[in-house]
A and B are shown apart, each in its own frame.
Chain A
Amino acid sequence: MKALRLWAVLGVAVLASPALVWADAGKAPGAPAKPLEKSELESDFLFADEASAPQGPTPRTADGHPDFSGFWKGSRATKPVGNIGKDLPGFKLPLTPAGEAALKHNLTQTIDPESRCLIGGIPRHDASALPFAIVQNSDHVTFLYMYTYFRTVPFDVRRHEEDPDTRYFGDEIGWWEGDSFVIDTVALKDKNMWIDENGNPQSGAMHVTERWTRPDAGHIHVEATIDDPKFYKRPFTYSRTWLAGKSGSRLLEALCTENNVDLQHLGPGPGGIRADGTRGYDVPPLPENPPPPPDSYDAKPAGKP
Protein backbone atom coordinates (compact mmCIF):
# COMPACT_ATOMS: atom_id res chain seq x y z
CA MET A 1 0.00 0.00 0.00
CA LYS A 2 2.84 2.31 0.90
CA ALA A 3 4.44 1.60 -2.45
CA LEU A 4 1.19 2.45 -4.21
CA ARG A 5 0.95 5.77 -2.34
CA LEU A 6 4.54 6.58 -3.23
CA TRP A 7 3.90 5.93 -6.91
CA ALA A 8 0.73 8.02 -6.75
CA VAL A 9 2.63 10.99 -5.30
CA LEU A 10 5.46 10.56 -7.75
CA GLY A 11 2.94 10.38 -10.57
CA VAL A 12 1.41 13.71 -9.62
CA ALA A 13 4.83 15.25 -9.09
CA VAL A 14 6.25 14.17 -12.41
CA LEU A 15 3.20 15.39 -14.28
CA ALA A 16 4.16 18.84 -13.06
CA SER A 17 7.70 18.45 -14.28
CA PRO A 18 8.35 17.43 -17.88
CA ALA A 19 12.01 16.80 -17.14
CA LEU A 20 11.10 14.23 -14.53
CA VAL A 21 8.39 12.70 -16.64
CA TRP A 22 11.00 11.81 -19.17
CA ALA A 23 13.64 10.96 -16.66
CA ASP A 24 11.33 8.40 -15.11
CA ALA A 25 9.67 7.13 -18.26
CA GLY A 26 10.34 3.48 -18.84
CA LYS A 27 11.61 3.03 -15.32
CA ALA A 28 8.36 2.47 -13.48
CA PRO A 29 7.85 -1.20 -12.73
CA GLY A 30 6.24 -2.91 -15.65
CA ALA A 31 6.28 0.14 -17.87
CA PRO A 32 7.08 -0.78 -21.46
CA ALA A 33 10.16 0.63 -23.12
CA LYS A 34 8.98 3.57 -25.19
CA PRO A 35 10.66 5.87 -27.64
CA LEU A 36 11.99 8.93 -25.90
CA GLU A 37 13.25 10.69 -28.98
CA LYS A 38 11.67 14.04 -29.84
CA SER A 39 13.17 17.39 -29.70
CA GLU A 40 10.08 19.05 -28.31
CA LEU A 41 11.69 18.19 -25.00
CA GLU A 42 14.56 20.44 -25.95
CA SER A 43 12.15 23.01 -27.24
CA ASP A 44 10.48 23.07 -23.84
CA PHE A 45 13.86 23.40 -22.23
CA LEU A 46 14.87 26.38 -24.31
CA PHE A 47 11.62 28.15 -25.01
CA ALA A 48 8.16 28.77 -23.61
CA ASP A 49 4.84 29.82 -25.08
CA GLU A 50 3.18 33.06 -24.18
CA ALA A 51 0.29 31.17 -22.60
CA SER A 52 2.65 29.58 -20.07
CA ALA A 53 3.78 32.91 -18.61
CA PRO A 54 2.61 33.47 -15.04
CA GLN A 55 0.10 36.26 -14.59
CA GLY A 56 0.09 38.94 -11.95
CA PRO A 57 1.60 42.30 -11.15
CA THR A 58 5.27 43.15 -11.29
CA PRO A 59 6.96 41.83 -8.16
CA ARG A 60 8.89 44.49 -6.28
CA THR A 61 11.79 44.52 -3.88
CA ALA A 62 11.61 46.07 -0.44
CA ASP A 63 12.93 49.34 -1.83
CA GLY A 64 10.15 49.50 -4.41
CA HIS A 65 12.11 48.62 -7.57
CA PRO A 66 10.78 46.00 -9.92
CA ASP A 67 12.31 42.66 -8.93
CA PHE A 68 13.88 40.95 -11.93
CA SER A 69 14.85 37.87 -9.91
CA GLY A 70 13.77 34.64 -11.50
CA PHE A 71 14.45 32.09 -14.18
CA TRP A 72 13.91 33.37 -17.71
CA LYS A 73 13.27 31.42 -20.90
CA GLY A 74 13.08 32.56 -24.47
CA SER A 75 9.69 33.01 -26.10
CA ARG A 76 8.87 30.94 -29.15
CA ALA A 77 7.68 34.19 -30.70
CA THR A 78 11.25 35.51 -30.85
CA LYS A 79 12.62 35.13 -34.36
CA PRO A 80 15.31 34.82 -35.37
CA VAL A 81 17.07 33.71 -32.22
CA GLY A 82 20.80 34.36 -32.16
CA ASN A 83 20.81 37.25 -34.63
CA ILE A 84 21.56 40.73 -33.28
CA GLY A 85 20.03 42.19 -36.44
CA LYS A 86 16.67 40.62 -35.55
CA ASP A 87 14.80 43.93 -35.61
CA LEU A 88 16.40 45.36 -38.74
CA PRO A 89 14.88 45.05 -42.23
CA GLY A 90 16.23 41.87 -43.78
CA PHE A 91 18.31 41.43 -40.58
CA LYS A 92 20.86 43.61 -42.36
CA LEU A 93 23.35 45.25 -40.05
CA PRO A 94 24.76 48.68 -41.04
CA LEU A 95 28.36 47.50 -41.34
CA THR A 96 31.17 49.90 -42.13
CA PRO A 97 33.87 48.71 -44.56
CA ALA A 98 35.94 47.77 -41.51
CA GLY A 99 32.91 45.90 -40.17
CA GLU A 100 32.50 44.04 -43.46
CA ALA A 101 36.14 43.00 -43.29
CA ALA A 102 35.77 41.91 -39.68
CA LEU A 103 32.68 39.87 -40.55
CA LYS A 104 34.53 38.17 -43.38
CA HIS A 105 37.38 37.40 -41.01
CA ASN A 106 34.96 35.90 -38.47
CA LEU A 107 33.23 33.76 -41.09
CA THR A 108 36.36 32.45 -42.73
CA GLN A 109 39.17 32.59 -40.19
CA THR A 110 37.71 32.48 -36.69
CA ILE A 111 36.49 29.65 -34.51
CA ASP A 112 33.45 30.74 -32.52
CA PRO A 113 34.84 32.19 -29.26
CA GLU A 114 32.06 30.52 -27.25
CA SER A 115 33.12 27.18 -28.72
CA ARG A 116 36.59 27.94 -27.37
CA CYS A 117 34.95 28.33 -23.98
CA LEU A 118 35.31 32.10 -23.88
CA ILE A 119 32.43 34.15 -22.50
CA GLY A 120 30.05 35.34 -25.18
CA GLY A 121 29.52 38.66 -23.42
CA ILE A 122 27.11 41.46 -24.10
CA PRO A 123 25.10 41.80 -26.26
CA ARG A 124 25.57 38.20 -27.43
CA HIS A 125 23.99 36.75 -24.31
CA ASP A 126 20.88 38.84 -24.98
CA ALA A 127 20.54 37.07 -28.33
CA SER A 128 21.28 33.56 -27.08
CA ALA A 129 18.82 30.68 -27.23
CA LEU A 130 19.74 29.62 -23.71
CA PRO A 131 17.71 30.49 -20.62
CA PHE A 132 19.25 32.47 -17.78
CA ALA A 133 18.54 33.54 -14.21
CA ILE A 134 18.63 36.86 -12.40
CA VAL A 135 19.28 37.48 -8.72
CA GLN A 136 18.66 41.02 -7.50
CA ASN A 137 19.35 42.65 -4.18
CA SER A 138 19.45 46.20 -2.84
CA ASP A 139 22.48 47.41 -4.79
CA HIS A 140 23.15 45.10 -7.72
CA VAL A 141 21.57 42.84 -10.28
CA THR A 142 23.34 39.60 -11.14
CA PHE A 143 22.70 37.68 -14.35
CA LEU A 144 23.52 33.97 -14.21
CA TYR A 145 24.16 32.21 -17.50
CA MET A 146 24.80 28.70 -18.68
CA TYR A 147 28.36 27.36 -18.37
CA THR A 148 28.72 29.11 -15.03
CA TYR A 149 29.13 32.57 -16.53
CA PHE A 150 27.75 35.60 -14.75
CA ARG A 151 27.71 39.39 -14.78
CA THR A 152 27.04 41.63 -11.80
CA VAL A 153 25.73 45.16 -12.40
CA PRO A 154 25.91 47.59 -9.48
CA PHE A 155 23.37 50.38 -8.98
CA ASP A 156 23.04 53.30 -8.76
CA VAL A 157 26.37 53.90 -10.44
CA ARG A 158 26.56 56.46 -13.24
CA ARG A 159 30.27 56.81 -13.88
CA HIS A 160 32.51 54.19 -15.42
CA GLU A 161 35.92 53.47 -14.01
CA GLU A 162 38.61 55.89 -15.16
CA ASP A 163 40.62 53.27 -16.97
CA PRO A 164 38.65 50.03 -16.85
CA ASP A 165 40.17 46.73 -17.79
CA THR A 166 38.56 45.25 -20.85
CA ARG A 167 36.30 42.31 -20.08
CA TYR A 168 33.95 40.01 -21.96
CA PHE A 169 31.02 41.63 -20.14
CA GLY A 170 32.81 44.97 -20.16
CA ASP A 171 32.65 47.62 -17.47
CA GLU A 172 28.97 47.58 -16.54
CA ILE A 173 27.16 50.14 -14.45
CA GLY A 174 23.46 50.46 -13.75
CA TRP A 175 20.83 52.85 -12.52
CA TRP A 176 17.07 53.11 -12.28
CA GLU A 177 14.96 55.41 -14.42
CA GLY A 178 11.51 54.88 -12.96
CA ASP A 179 10.79 51.19 -13.39
CA SER A 180 13.49 50.74 -16.04
CA PHE A 181 16.88 49.41 -15.08
CA VAL A 182 19.55 50.87 -17.35
CA ILE A 183 22.81 49.01 -17.88
CA ASP A 184 25.61 50.90 -19.55
CA THR A 185 28.49 48.83 -20.87
CA VAL A 186 31.87 49.90 -22.24
CA ALA A 187 35.40 48.43 -22.20
CA LEU A 188 34.52 45.23 -23.97
CA LYS A 189 37.27 43.03 -25.33
CA ASP A 190 38.64 44.11 -28.69
CA LYS A 191 39.14 40.57 -29.94
CA ASN A 192 37.77 37.07 -29.47
CA MET A 193 34.20 38.31 -29.32
CA TRP A 194 31.28 37.86 -31.68
CA ILE A 195 28.31 40.18 -31.27
CA ASP A 196 25.90 37.27 -31.87
CA GLU A 197 25.66 33.59 -32.75
CA ASN A 198 26.05 34.37 -36.45
CA GLY A 199 29.61 35.62 -36.28
CA ASN A 200 28.82 39.31 -36.69
CA PRO A 201 31.65 41.52 -35.43
CA GLN A 202 32.10 43.85 -32.50
CA SER A 203 35.03 46.05 -31.57
CA GLY A 204 36.49 47.44 -28.39
CA ALA A 205 34.86 50.76 -29.27
CA MET A 206 31.39 49.34 -28.70
CA HIS A 207 29.01 50.94 -26.22
CA VAL A 208 25.87 49.04 -25.26
CA THR A 209 22.92 50.51 -23.40
CA GLU A 210 20.29 48.08 -22.16
CA ARG A 211 16.97 49.15 -20.67
CA TRP A 212 15.43 46.26 -18.74
CA THR A 213 11.80 46.24 -17.60
CA ARG A 214 9.51 43.72 -15.97
CA PRO A 215 6.02 44.81 -17.04
CA ASP A 216 4.32 42.02 -15.08
CA ALA A 217 5.10 38.80 -13.26
CA GLY A 218 5.51 36.72 -16.40
CA HIS A 219 7.73 38.85 -18.63
CA ILE A 220 11.08 40.55 -18.70
CA HIS A 221 12.08 42.78 -21.58
CA VAL A 222 15.20 44.48 -22.88
CA GLU A 223 15.64 47.35 -25.30
CA ALA A 224 19.30 47.54 -26.24
CA THR A 225 21.08 50.22 -28.22
CA ILE A 226 24.35 49.14 -29.75
CA ASP A 227 26.81 51.80 -30.81
CA ASP A 228 30.05 50.62 -32.36
CA PRO A 229 31.32 53.34 -34.70
CA LYS A 230 34.27 51.24 -35.81
CA PHE A 231 32.20 48.42 -37.29
CA TYR A 232 28.70 49.92 -37.67
CA LYS A 233 27.69 53.09 -39.53
CA ARG A 234 25.09 54.05 -36.96
CA PRO A 235 23.70 52.81 -33.66
CA PHE A 236 21.02 50.15 -33.94
CA THR A 237 18.57 48.58 -31.54
CA TYR A 238 17.72 45.07 -30.41
CA SER A 239 14.70 44.16 -28.31
CA ARG A 240 13.56 40.91 -26.79
CA THR A 241 11.12 39.53 -24.25
CA TRP A 242 11.66 36.44 -22.10
CA LEU A 243 9.05 34.50 -20.14
CA ALA A 244 9.23 33.50 -16.49
CA GLY A 245 10.15 29.85 -16.00
CA LYS A 246 8.68 27.49 -13.50
CA SER A 247 9.29 28.22 -9.87
CA GLY A 248 12.18 26.16 -8.57
CA SER A 249 14.13 26.18 -11.82
CA ARG A 250 17.81 26.85 -11.33
CA LEU A 251 21.10 26.58 -13.11
CA LEU A 252 23.65 23.95 -12.26
CA GLU A 253 27.42 24.04 -12.55
CA ALA A 254 29.07 23.03 -15.77
CA LEU A 255 32.53 23.68 -17.11
CA CYS A 256 32.91 24.23 -20.83
CA THR A 257 36.58 23.27 -20.72
CA GLU A 258 35.94 19.93 -19.03
CA ASN A 259 36.06 17.92 -22.24
CA ASN A 260 36.01 20.26 -25.20
CA VAL A 261 36.71 17.66 -27.86
CA ASP A 262 34.97 19.88 -30.41
CA LEU A 263 37.70 22.40 -30.61
CA GLN A 264 39.99 20.44 -32.91
CA HIS A 265 37.11 19.64 -35.28
CA LEU A 266 35.38 22.99 -35.65
CA GLY A 267 35.53 25.03 -38.80
CA PRO A 268 35.48 28.84 -38.90
CA GLY A 269 32.31 30.87 -38.54
CA PRO A 270 28.86 29.55 -37.72
CA GLY A 271 28.96 27.26 -40.78
CA GLY A 272 26.28 29.12 -42.68
CA ILE A 273 23.33 31.44 -42.18
CA ARG A 274 19.83 30.52 -43.30
CA ALA A 275 17.54 32.93 -45.13
CA ASP A 276 15.48 33.17 -41.94
CA GLY A 277 18.45 34.67 -40.13
CA THR A 278 19.40 31.68 -37.98
CA ARG A 279 22.80 30.03 -38.01
CA GLY A 280 23.33 26.80 -39.87
CA TYR A 281 21.91 25.36 -43.04
CA ASP A 282 18.95 23.16 -43.86
CA VAL A 283 19.84 19.53 -43.47
CA PRO A 284 17.92 16.71 -45.14
CA PRO A 285 16.11 14.53 -42.61
CA LEU A 286 17.92 11.48 -41.35
CA PRO A 287 16.68 8.62 -43.49
CA GLU A 288 14.28 6.29 -41.71
CA ASN A 289 15.97 3.47 -43.55
CA PRO A 290 19.48 3.06 -42.27
CA PRO A 291 21.78 5.87 -43.36
CA PRO A 292 24.92 4.75 -45.19
CA PRO A 293 27.54 2.79 -43.24
CA PRO A 294 30.78 4.49 -42.29
CA ASP A 295 32.61 2.79 -45.16
CA SER A 296 30.81 5.24 -47.41
CA TYR A 297 33.19 7.91 -46.25
CA ASP A 298 36.95 8.03 -46.06
CA ALA A 299 37.25 9.00 -42.42
CA LYS A 300 40.36 9.23 -40.30
CA PRO A 301 40.82 8.64 -36.58
CA ALA A 302 39.12 11.28 -34.47
CA GLY A 303 42.14 11.71 -32.20
CA LYS A 304 42.18 13.57 -28.93
CA PRO A 305 43.01 17.16 -28.13
Chain B
Amino acid sequence: MKPILAAALAASLIFVRPAEAHHSFAAEFDGDKPVRLVGTITKIEWTNPHSYFYLDVKDSHGNLQNWAVESGNPGALSRRGWTKGDIKFGDTLIVDGYLAKDGSRLIDGRRVKLPDGRIVYGGSAGDGGPGDPSAQKPAGTEEKP
Protein backbone atom coordinates (compact mmCIF):
# COMPACT_ATOMS: atom_id res chain seq x y z
CA MET B 1 0.00 0.00 0.00
CA LYS B 2 1.29 3.41 -0.89
CA PRO B 3 2.21 5.56 2.10
CA ILE B 4 -0.25 8.29 1.14
CA LEU B 5 -3.15 5.84 0.93
CA ALA B 6 -2.13 4.20 4.18
CA ALA B 7 -1.97 7.56 5.91
CA ALA B 8 -5.37 8.60 4.58
CA LEU B 9 -6.91 5.29 5.67
CA ALA B 10 -5.39 5.58 9.11
CA ALA B 11 -6.73 9.09 9.41
CA SER B 12 -10.22 7.98 8.43
CA LEU B 13 -10.60 5.77 11.50
CA ILE B 14 -11.53 7.32 14.77
CA PHE B 15 -10.31 5.16 17.57
CA VAL B 16 -12.33 5.80 20.65
CA ARG B 17 -10.52 4.72 23.72
CA PRO B 18 -12.40 4.66 26.96
CA ALA B 19 -12.71 8.01 28.55
CA GLU B 20 -12.97 8.23 32.27
CA ALA B 21 -16.16 8.94 34.12
CA HIS B 22 -14.79 6.13 36.18
CA HIS B 23 -15.35 8.11 39.33
CA SER B 24 -16.77 11.44 40.33
CA PHE B 25 -14.21 14.24 40.75
CA ALA B 26 -16.08 15.28 43.87
CA ALA B 27 -15.73 11.85 45.49
CA GLU B 28 -11.94 12.04 45.44
CA PHE B 29 -10.71 15.62 45.19
CA ASP B 30 -11.21 18.81 47.16
CA GLY B 31 -12.21 21.73 44.95
CA ASP B 32 -11.25 24.14 47.70
CA LYS B 33 -7.64 22.98 47.70
CA PRO B 34 -6.00 24.02 44.45
CA VAL B 35 -2.30 23.31 44.31
CA ARG B 36 0.65 23.76 41.97
CA LEU B 37 3.31 21.08 41.79
CA VAL B 38 6.66 21.74 40.15
CA GLY B 39 8.75 18.62 40.10
CA THR B 40 10.78 16.08 38.21
CA ILE B 41 9.20 12.92 36.90
CA THR B 42 10.17 9.79 38.81
CA LYS B 43 7.58 7.35 37.49
CA ILE B 44 5.07 7.19 34.65
CA GLU B 45 2.07 4.86 34.61
CA TRP B 46 0.46 5.11 31.18
CA THR B 47 -2.56 3.04 32.20
CA ASN B 48 -6.33 2.67 32.50
CA PRO B 49 -8.54 3.88 33.97
CA HIS B 50 -6.16 6.80 34.59
CA SER B 51 -2.60 7.67 33.83
CA TYR B 52 -0.42 8.54 36.81
CA PHE B 53 2.72 10.60 36.97
CA TYR B 54 4.90 10.78 40.02
CA LEU B 55 6.92 13.87 40.73
CA ASP B 56 9.67 14.67 43.20
CA VAL B 57 8.68 18.07 44.53
CA LYS B 58 10.91 20.16 46.77
CA ASP B 59 9.13 21.71 49.73
CA SER B 60 9.96 25.07 51.30
CA HIS B 61 12.53 23.39 53.55
CA GLY B 62 14.32 21.88 50.61
CA ASN B 63 13.07 18.36 51.28
CA LEU B 64 11.99 16.22 48.35
CA GLN B 65 8.56 14.65 48.55
CA ASN B 66 7.04 12.36 46.01
CA TRP B 67 3.61 13.30 44.70
CA ALA B 68 1.18 11.37 42.51
CA VAL B 69 -0.69 13.15 39.73
CA GLU B 70 -3.87 11.55 38.43
CA SER B 71 -4.70 12.35 34.84
CA GLY B 72 -6.72 11.11 31.92
CA ASN B 73 -6.02 7.70 30.41
CA PRO B 74 -3.58 7.41 27.50
CA GLY B 75 -6.31 7.70 24.88
CA ALA B 76 -7.81 10.80 26.44
CA LEU B 77 -4.41 12.47 26.74
CA SER B 78 -3.39 11.63 23.20
CA ARG B 79 -6.61 13.23 21.94
CA ARG B 80 -5.34 16.41 23.50
CA GLY B 81 -1.93 16.11 21.92
CA TRP B 82 -0.09 14.63 24.89
CA THR B 83 1.59 11.43 23.79
CA LYS B 84 3.95 9.00 25.47
CA GLY B 85 7.04 10.51 23.90
CA ASP B 86 6.34 13.96 25.31
CA ILE B 87 7.67 13.19 28.79
CA LYS B 88 10.43 11.07 30.28
CA PHE B 89 12.02 10.45 33.64
CA GLY B 90 13.81 13.52 34.91
CA ASP B 91 11.71 16.01 32.96
CA THR B 92 10.18 18.87 34.90
CA LEU B 93 6.41 19.22 34.87
CA ILE B 94 4.30 22.06 36.21
CA VAL B 95 0.92 20.76 37.25
CA ASP B 96 -2.04 22.72 38.61
CA GLY B 97 -4.80 20.69 40.15
CA TYR B 98 -6.69 19.79 43.28
CA LEU B 99 -5.60 17.89 46.36
CA ALA B 100 -7.14 14.53 47.25
CA LYS B 101 -9.80 14.79 49.93
CA ASP B 102 -8.07 12.15 52.04
CA GLY B 103 -5.00 14.35 52.36
CA SER B 104 -2.70 12.09 50.38
CA ARG B 105 0.07 13.49 48.23
CA LEU B 106 -2.18 12.95 45.25
CA ILE B 107 -3.67 15.60 43.01
CA ASP B 108 -6.00 15.66 40.06
CA GLY B 109 -3.77 17.19 37.38
CA ARG B 110 -6.19 19.52 35.67
CA ARG B 111 -3.69 21.79 33.90
CA VAL B 112 -0.30 20.42 32.90
CA LYS B 113 2.60 22.30 31.34
CA LEU B 114 4.71 19.88 29.35
CA PRO B 115 8.47 20.19 28.96
CA ASP B 116 8.05 21.70 25.49
CA GLY B 117 5.85 24.46 26.84
CA ARG B 118 2.47 23.19 25.73
CA ILE B 119 -0.33 23.31 28.25
CA VAL B 120 -2.62 20.29 28.29
CA TYR B 121 -5.97 19.82 29.94
CA GLY B 122 -5.45 16.86 32.24
CA GLY B 123 -8.96 16.40 33.59
CA SER B 124 -11.12 13.33 33.23
CA ALA B 125 -14.05 13.45 30.84
CA GLY B 126 -17.40 12.82 32.44
CA ASP B 127 -16.23 13.14 36.03
CA GLY B 128 -18.27 16.26 36.76
CA GLY B 129 -15.17 18.19 37.79
CA PRO B 130 -13.97 21.60 36.61
CA GLY B 131 -13.88 21.75 32.84
CA ASP B 132 -15.91 18.59 32.37
CA PRO B 133 -18.60 19.02 29.74
CA SER B 134 -21.08 16.72 31.46
CA ALA B 135 -21.40 19.22 34.28
CA GLN B 136 -23.98 21.76 33.23
CA LYS B 137 -22.61 24.68 35.13
CA PRO B 138 -18.95 23.94 34.81
CA ALA B 139 -16.57 26.11 36.67
CA GLY B 140 -12.96 26.42 35.73
CA THR B 141 -10.83 28.28 33.31
CA GLU B 142 -10.88 25.38 30.90
CA GLU B 143 -14.53 25.69 30.06
CA LYS B 144 -16.04 28.14 27.63
CA PRO B 145 -19.61 29.32 28.16
Kindly supply a per-residue 1/0 record for chain A positions 262-290, scoring 1 wherever the CB is within 8 Å of any chain B CB and 0 otherwise.
10011111111010111111111111101
- Tell me whether A292 and B18 are in contact (CB under 8 A): no
- Tell me whether B134 and A41 are in contact (CB under 8 A): no
- Tell me whether B96 and A291 are in contact (CB under 8 A): yes
Contacting B14 at CB < 8 Å: which of A5, A248, A256? Answer: A248
Q: Does B1 contact A (CB under 8 A)?
A: no
Shortest A7–chain B CB gap in Å is: 10
Complex Cα–Cα for A63 and B136 (A): 41
- Tell me whether B134 and A259 are in contact (CB under 8 A): no
Complex Cα–Cα for A254 and B97 (A): 25
Residues of B within 8 A of A274 (CB): 135-137
Interface segment, one of A79-87, A152-160, A178-186, A213-221: A79-87
Residues of B within 8 A of A282 (CB): 31, 137, 139
Contacting A285 at CB < 8 Å: which of B11, B35, B140? Answer: B140
Contacting A262 at CB < 8 Å: which of B28, B35, B111? Answer: B28
Residues of B within 8 A of A88 (CB): none
Residues of B within 8 A of A47 (CB): 133-134
Residues of B within 8 A of A265 (CB): 28, 100-102, 104, 106
Residues of A within 8 A of B50 (CB): 259, 261-262
Complex Cα–Cα for A7 and B4 (A): 9
Interface segment, one of A28-36, A92-100, A201-209: A28-36
Residues of B within 8 A of A71 (CB): 16
- Tell me whether A298 and B103 are in contact (CB under 8 A): yes
Interface segment, one of A126-134, A135-143, A165-173, A230-238: A126-134
Residues of B within 8 A of A296 (CB): 33, 35
Contacting B134 at CB < 8 Å: which of A46, A271, A295? Answer: A46
Assess A130 versus B3: contact at CB under 8 Å? Given A46-B134, A267-B101: no
- Tell me whether B67 and A302 are in contact (CB under 8 A): yes
Q: Does A249 contact B (CB under 8 A)?
A: yes
Interface residues of B in 62-79 (CB under 8 A from A): 65-68, 70, 73, 75-76, 78-79
Assess A295 versus B60: contact at CB under 8 Å? Given A147-B18, A252-B16: yes
- Tell me whether A272 and B126 are in contact (CB under 8 A): no
Q: Does A101 contact B (CB under 8 A)?
A: no
Nearest B-chain residue to A13, judged by Cβ: B11
Residues of B within 8 A of A256 (CB): 22, 48-49
- Tell me whether A302 and B26 are in contact (CB under 8 A): no
Kindly supply a per-residue 1/0 record for chain A positions 12-26, scoring 1 wherever the CB is within 8 Å of any chain B CB and 0 otherwise.
111011011011011
Complex Cα–Cα for A241 and B140 (A): 28
Complex Cα–Cα for A22 and B80 (A): 6
- Ordered by A's residue number, 21 sampled pairs between the chains whose C-beta atoms are within 8 Å are A19-B15, A20-B11, A37-B120, A41-B121, A42-B19, A79-B136, A81-B134, A147-B48, A197-B128, A252-B15, A256-B49, A259-B47, A261-B45, A265-B106, A267-B101, A283-B32, A287-B96, A294-B105, A295-B59, A295-B60, A302-B105
Residues of chain B having any CB pair with chain A under 8 Å: 3-4, 7-8, 11-19, 21-28, 31-37, 45, 47-50, 52, 57, 59-60, 65-68, 70, 73, 75-76, 78-83, 96-106, 110-111, 116-121, 123, 125-144
In the complex, the 6 A-B pairs of residues with the closest C-beta atoms, listed nearest first: A271-B26, A13-B11, A283-B31, A280-B128, A43-B133, A259-B47
A197-B21, A265-B28, A299-B104 known; 6 other A-B pairs, CB under 8 Å? Answer: A12-B8, A37-B119, A128-B126, A131-B16, A146-B21, A302-B66
